[in-house]
Structure 1
């Protein structure tokens, strides 16, 4: 997903920070009223692209759901730039 880090800061506040054996990660986590969850995450210091990885629960794993999640972020310039080949149309 293409979305500006500072736009996320302004709209949703500071991200959570996670660390694993590969890197430190910026993570914005969201829960929908239905109970479904999704996150936006990217490597903190040397991201390979300026975008974020959108990670979702199974019921949100579709192109249609991704479009709804982008809209729910309420950041006009946010957009999906690539979908996994496993995502249902």
Structure 2
């Protein structure tokens, strides 16, 4: 998902920081009123692309849900870059 990091900061504040054996990650977590959750994450210091990875729960793993997810952070310039080939149509 392409969304400006500073736009996320302005709208949602500082991200959570996660660390694994690969890198340190910036993470923004969101939840729908239904309880479904998703995160936007990207490598903190040397991201390979300007966008964010969108990680979702299984019920949100569909092409139909992608539009909802892109609108949910309430940043008008956000858009999908690429959907995984595993996403259900």
For residues 40-79 of structure 1, what are the structure 2 equivalents within 5 Å?
Answer: 40-79=40-79
Deviations 1:17-44 (A, max 9, x none): 0011110000000111101000000000
Identify the residue that residue 13 of structure 1 maps to in structure 2. 13
The CA distance in 2 between the partners of 1:8 and 1:54, in whole Å, is: 14
The CA distance in 2 between the partners of 1:56 and 1:47, in whole Å, is: 20
The CA distance in 2 between the partners of 1:66 and 1:8, in whole Å, is: 18
What is the RMSD computed on CA atoms of the aligned residues? 0.6
Could you tell me which runs of 5 or more consecutive residues in structure 1 were left unpaired when the two chains were aligned.
none
TM-score, length of structure 2 as denominator length = 0.97
- Aligned-pair distance for 1:15? 0.2
Could you tell me which runs of 5 or more consecutive residues in structure 2 were left unpaired when the two chains were aligned.
none
TM-score, length of structure 1 as denominator length = 0.97
Which ranges of 4 or more aligned residues in structure 1 deviate by more than 4 Å?
none
Deviations 1:34-57 (A, max 9, x none): 010000000000000000000000
Count of aligned positions: 89
Deviations 1:47-85 (A, max 9, x none): 000000000000000111111111111111100010000
